[in-house]
Amino acid sequence: MPRKSARKRVLVLRAGSPSTNNLIRSLRAGDPSCVIVGCHHDGFELKKSLADRNFLVRASPRRELARALHQIVELERIDIVIPNSEPDVAIVSDLRKALGCRTFVPGKSVLERCRDKYALTTFLRERGLPVPETYPVLSTRDIPRVFRRLPPASRLWCRIRRGSGSVGAIPVETPAQVRGWIHYWEQMRGIPRGSFTLSEFLPGRDLTVQCLLRGGVPLMSKTHEKLSYHVLAGVPSGVSSTASLAKIIHEPHALRVSIEAIRALDRDASGVFFVDLKENPYGEPRITEINAGRFANVPTIHDAYGGDNMVHMYVRAAFGEAIETVDARAHEGDYVLRSLDMSPVVLRGAELFDEIRDLR
């Protein structure tokens, strides 16, 4: 049975990574009394960890990592384990009944469906949810046929069915460009044949909706628009999953379809999900992917600067505490800024030009 303690004792995975350090800052902002333990398989990353105590573990084989997690839970009397990457969410989901502490992650079927972006798109379309028209490229011989199936357009979007960080994604205009792109990734990067899709190109706003649910009931959400991207130079897609500048916004339609999509995956969904959406030329959002069981960076950074803290609420929800739902319009207009070699910054809209002399 999970332990009960006055001070919550939390184990976070991938400690020292930027995303997990952001999560730790938010945990401390929400509950300064909590004890945070970190682990990572990379000693250099772990050295940057903000956790109170840290453990170096093996990355593989998987059973070795599982054994290490069990050991840390016992040694440190851990109350809850929080994964913060796609592979770690899958591991913790598999081990949820054996860890001896709380977890708050989706089940295996939900994670598998979200992992394959084409399978997810097909699943959502069959349920009437807005997604981009998308087709698999099983062989380079299929490329001209897929071009003919998609609506006429100057650009299409080519990407890999699995993975994160916009890896392998690129806008294309001709079958020859697609063929060359796929050949490169298959031959130079070892991507298996049949891993790519082609879909309609969505030129509008780039939105992310992060939702916290318990038993299918939404508890809190934060929506942001990516205004510029981190480490963009040299990225052929022109975009990244990591925003260097983002704005907290309120988009009721995007929020509604995001929650509907999560409930379509599991009507009793519990945990955190973030849904990526892109707008078509008419300003209509289309769901491009769902990341289940882990936090997006922008809302996690926003949590640490006061106000409604979703990371803290996540822990409270996992402990079964009574929680009042939060108005999704809270903090609309705040900006989140990130850059290499600087701490993340959150600015209220009215503070944007504080101590700046405008000579425009």
Same domain? For 334 and 216 the reply is yes
Residues lower than pLDDT 70 in the chain: 1-5, 165, 231-234, 307, 328, 350
Same domain? For 260 and 329 the reply is yes
Same domain? For 195 and 214 the reply is no
What pLDDT is recorded for position 343?
Answer: 84
Same domain? For 231 and 346 the reply is yes
35-47 in b/e form (b: 16+ CB < 10 A) is bbbbbbbeeebbe
Angle at alpha carbon of residue 276, lines to 306 and 36, rounded to 5°: 40
What pLDDT is recorded for position 200?
Answer: 95
Residue 68: inside a domain, yes or no? yes
What pLDDT is recorded for position 339?
Answer: 84
Same domain? For 169 and 301 the reply is no
Same domain? For 183 and 225 the reply is no
Residue 263: inside a domain, yes or no? yes
Same domain? For 267 and 293 the reply is yes
Residue 48: inside a domain, yes or no? yes
Residue 340: inside a domain, yes or no? yes
- As for how many domains the chain has, the answer is 3
Burial class (CB in 10 A: 0-12, 13-18, 19+), 283: exposed
Residue 271: inside a domain, yes or no? yes
Cis ω on the peptide bond leading into residue 152 (within 30° of 0)? no
CATH number of the domain that 34 lies in? Answer: 3.40.50.20
Q: What pTM value is reported for the model? A: 0.92
Per-residue pLDDT reduced to its tens digit, 288-324:
999 999 999 999 999 998 768 999 999 999 999 998 8
| Residue numbers of the domain that contains 16 | 9-103
What pLDDT is recorded for position 1?
Answer: 46
Residue 117: inside a domain, yes or no? no
Residue 57 is encoded by which pair of tokens?
A: 């573990």
Same domain? For 298 and 221 the reply is yes
Instruction: Give the largest CA-CA distance in the chain.
Output: 63
What pLDDT is recorded for position 233?
Answer: 60
Same domain? For 258 and 331 the reply is yes
CATH number of the domain that 191 lies in? Answer: 3.30.1490.20
Same domain? For 330 and 254 the reply is yes
Residue 173: inside a domain, yes or no? yes
